[in-house]
Structure 1
């Protein structure tokens, strides 16, 4: 896949977020680390999981909340005009949660989604995944 210069790439899982921008051109992908704003990790997830004795996985609820917080930050950045093109690369579970919170404007700026956990990988691994998509 070729990405226009300035495209934002968000690489996430339920605990970490890395933001990059393509500082190269469409033919020569070159991701550079950047920041948008802080993620509100206390955002509520979709509510599909409830903490209880029958479902004691509070960690999953925290991850869902972090995923929702990532999208809230991305939605704001898109609506503020800071993001003109977006690629989301996320662990499959996190990506599923994130999709539930996309604003329609973010959806219109979304160039691709890659369901892969690359948060602990090098920039070259992220670039390779984008090129292969």
Structure 2
């Protein structure tokens, strides 16, 4: 991964399907100093705790053949919903002029979902992306990963 130049006042979003950190660089490109501006949590238990139905069955016309239908992945659906919420929050922040430049750091699936949902006003401000899960890392570790060391 190449290093990301964290300019002064640049924002960094670090997210997965359950947690989002909104960070702002109060330092400069040479000496970044990310500060947590906001932290959001989204309760997302495993699918087994969210859905208790047995898998559905399909019958063919002769009624001699039955097929199982795959279970719904409620955990994945909640991750997608959280990505939608983050995209909406970023739009509100961009519309208010909260940030001029943004780096997205997210779990690959969440990053892909957010990309689809980002408003053009936000997408135009994205200067870099990192497809990694860093939400449980310290801010100093996040700075090191973004610096490429």
1:97 correspondence with 2:100: no
Query: Rg larger in 1 or in 2?
Result: 2
> Partner residue of 2:130?
114
SS of the equivalent of 1:19 reads strand
In the alignment, is the contact (CA less than 8 A) between 2:10 and 2:99 conserved in 1? Answer: yes
CA separation in 2, counterparts of 1:132 and 1:82?
A: 26
> Partner residue of 1:126?
142
TM-score, normalised to structure 2, is 0.75
> Partner residue of 1:82?
98
Hey, which of these two has a bigger chunk of strand by percent?
2
> Partner residue of 2:15?
12
- 1:105 and 1:40, CA in 2 relative to 1: closer, same or farther beyond 3 A? farther
Q: Give the C-alpha shift of residue 95 in structure 1.
A: 0.5
**Which runs of 5 or more structure 2 residues have no equivalent in the other structure?**
44-54, 57-69
CA separation in 2, counterparts of 1:99 and 1:39?
A: 20
Q: Give the C-alpha shift of residue 40 in structure 1.
A: 8.9
Structure 1 runs (4+) deviating above 4 angstroms are: 38-41
Q: How many residues align?
A: 122
CA separation in 1, counterparts of 2:81 and 2:91?
A: 15
**C-alpha RMSD of matched pairs (Å):** 2.1
Q: Give the C-alpha shift of residue 61 in structure 1.
A: 0.5
TM-score, normalised to structure 1, is 0.84
Tell me the alpha carbon deviations over residues 45-91 of structure 1, each in whole angstroms, 9 at most, x when there is no partner: xxxxxxx8423211110111001100110111011111111011000
